[in-house]
Amino acid sequence: MALRGGIDLGGTKIESVVVDGDGAVVGQARHPTPHDGGPPAVINALAGGLREAAKAAGVETAELTGVGVGSPGEIDDGTVAHARNLPDWDDTFPLASALSEQVGAPVKVANDVGAAVDAEAKLGAGKDYGSFLGVWWGTGVGGAVVIGGERWLGRGAAGEIGHTVVKIGGATCECGRRGCLEAYAGRGAMERKARKAVAGGTKTDLFDLMEKHGRQRLTSGIWGRALDRNDKLAEKLIHRAVVALGAGIGSVVNLLDVEAVVIGGGLGTRFGQPYVEKIEQQMMKHLFVPERPPAVLPAALGDLGGAIGASLLVG
Ligand SMILES: [Zn+2]
């Protein structure tokens, strides 16, 4: 039986799976993404996670027919550069060859959100639609567009809904520009805003919860717990994110008139249907043709969608 590996390399966690010929998950492992040590530390963590997933499936990693990795940053022929959500990863690093050496199987690398959206198109929430927009709401805000059943890549950089402008001269984004959707809705930007508010005297349970649960960052789970407690700052920042997402998504729908919008990513998956509906309500305010809105749906493959999608790279 031909088994394949798939890894979703995120800014917060590394999700690894081993899948069989039908795409069914037969082994999995989840680990936090290293905070320091640069690319070598990340490669070690990827190899460790894959070994654990392979062990759960009863095989060695060298027996896998191939391993796909969904990675942030700029991907070119197995190398990754400018992965801002990974530790000290700005220069070009040969992820595929370095990981292949450790696990003894061929490795292919693709954009993380693209891999997850491909999986939703083939197996998940997008499979009944010829065209849809995927919005991956997590550490950053990623996106991908499927048109005629195929992902629209442009000249290689298409789909970056996180860097569409929702406010002229607005908040500063990680990319160095102003007013980007990600500067309002990215979990990284939300955490920076929360830290500023606390420094200015605002009360919140966010950072107590973070420490109590042994986290170094405000993860999607921590934001969720703060909302469960009706934490005012968390509610305010999540609402601000939802409003910005509605504006960004509405603009894309006006331009492309896609049949559906699929919301995934760490926050999207954690918050699920109720927040998908809130985003939909905000989007509706901006639609030029509101009588024929797209379906707005949560991603169907959940936390493992990115890793399953990555495994399709070597299918
Ligand atoms: Zn930006």
pLDDT of residue 22: 84
The HSE-up count of residue 26 (CA atoms within 13 Å, CB side) is 18
**Same structural domain, 72 and 140:** no
Distance (Å) from CA 97 to ligand 1 centroid = 30
| Contacts made by residues 192-199, CB under 8 angstroms, sequence distance 24+ | 193/237, 194/218, 194/233, 194/234, 194/237, 197/233, 198/233
Residue 79 lies in a domain: yes
Distance (Å) from CA 203 to ligand 1 centroid = 28
SS3 248: helix
Residue 110 lies in a domain: yes
Distance (Å) from CA 187 to ligand 1 centroid = 13
Distance (Å) from CA 74 to ligand 1 centroid = 15
Residue 107 lies in a domain: yes
* C-alpha closest to that of 46 among 3, 92, 105: 105
Distance (Å) from CA 197 to ligand 1 centroid = 22
Residue 176 lies in a domain: yes
* C-alpha closest to that of 92 among 105, 109, 116, 104: 109
Distance (Å) from CA 141 to ligand 1 centroid = 9
Distance (Å) from CA 185 to ligand 1 centroid = 11
Q: Which tokens in the block code for residue 142?
A: 């990623």
Question: What span, in angstroms and rounded, lies between the C-alpha atoms of 107 and 311?
Answer: 10
- pLDDT under 70: residue ranges of the chain: 1
**Same structural domain, 161 and 97:** no
Residue 53 lies in a domain: yes
**How many folded domains does the chain comprise?**
2
Question: What span, in angstroms and rounded, lies between the C-alpha atoms of 21 and 26?
Answer: 10
Distance (Å) from CA 174 to ligand 1 centroid = 6
Distance (Å) from CA 135 to ligand 1 centroid = 15
pLDDT of residue 31: 94
Distance (Å) from CA 246 to ligand 1 centroid = 17
Distance (Å) from CA 181 to ligand 1 centroid = 7
Residue 92: CATH number of its domain: 3.30.420.40
**Same structural domain, 200 and 295:** yes
Distance (Å) from CA 160 to ligand 1 centroid = 9
Distance (Å) from CA 164 to ligand 1 centroid = 7
**Same structural domain, 52 and 34:** yes
Distance (Å) from CA 250 to ligand 1 centroid = 18
**Same structural domain, 145 and 264:** yes
**Same structural domain, 232 and 252:** yes
Give tens-digit pLDDT for 126-184. Answer: 999 999 999 999 989 999 999 998 999 998 889 999 999 999 999 999 899 999 999 99
β-pair type (74-76, 150-152): unpaired
Distance (Å) from CA 54 to ligand 1 centroid = 37
Domain limits for position 18: 4-115+305-314
**Same structural domain, 67 and 152:** no
DSSP element (H, E) containing 51: helix 38-56
Distance (Å) from CA 59 to ligand 1 centroid = 42
Residue 120 lies in a domain: no
Distance (Å) from CA 137 to ligand 1 centroid = 14
Question: Which residues are within 5 Å of ligand 1 (an ion), measured at CB?
Answer: 163, 173, 175, 177, 180
